[in-house]
Amino acid sequence: MSFPNERKAELIEKVTEATVQVAGEAMRDVTWVVIDELKAGTWAIGGKPVSL
């Protein structure tokens, strides 16, 4: 599954905010969010390929 850039930005913001809420404001500048989009058929769960 691929997300549009607007959804990626929203995801990045929300993951960062969740980290800051739990670990404190000092974590904001050191929180990295990496979105690694995989192509369908290049990964598996329970030994079965996943295709979206």
**pLDDT given for residue 52 in this prediction:** 67
Tell whether the model's pLDDT for residue 42 goes beyond 80: yes
Q: What is the count of structural domains for the chain?
A: 1
Tell whether the model's pLDDT for residue 48 goes beyond 70: yes
Q: Phi/psi class of residue 41: alpha, beta or left (left: φ > 0; alpha: ψ in -120 to 50)?
A: left
Q: Which two tokens stand for residue 33?
A: 């969010």
Q: Do the domain assignments include residue 23?
A: yes
Asked if 40 contacts 50 with a C-beta cutoff of 8 angstroms, the reply is yes
Q: Do the domain assignments include residue 29?
A: yes
CA distance 25 to 42: 37
Q: Do the domain assignments include residue 26?
A: yes
Looking at residues 17-28, what average pLDDT do you find? 98
Residue 23 is part of which domain span?
A: 1-36
40 CB contacts (<8 Å, ≥6 apart)?
Answer: 50, 51, 52
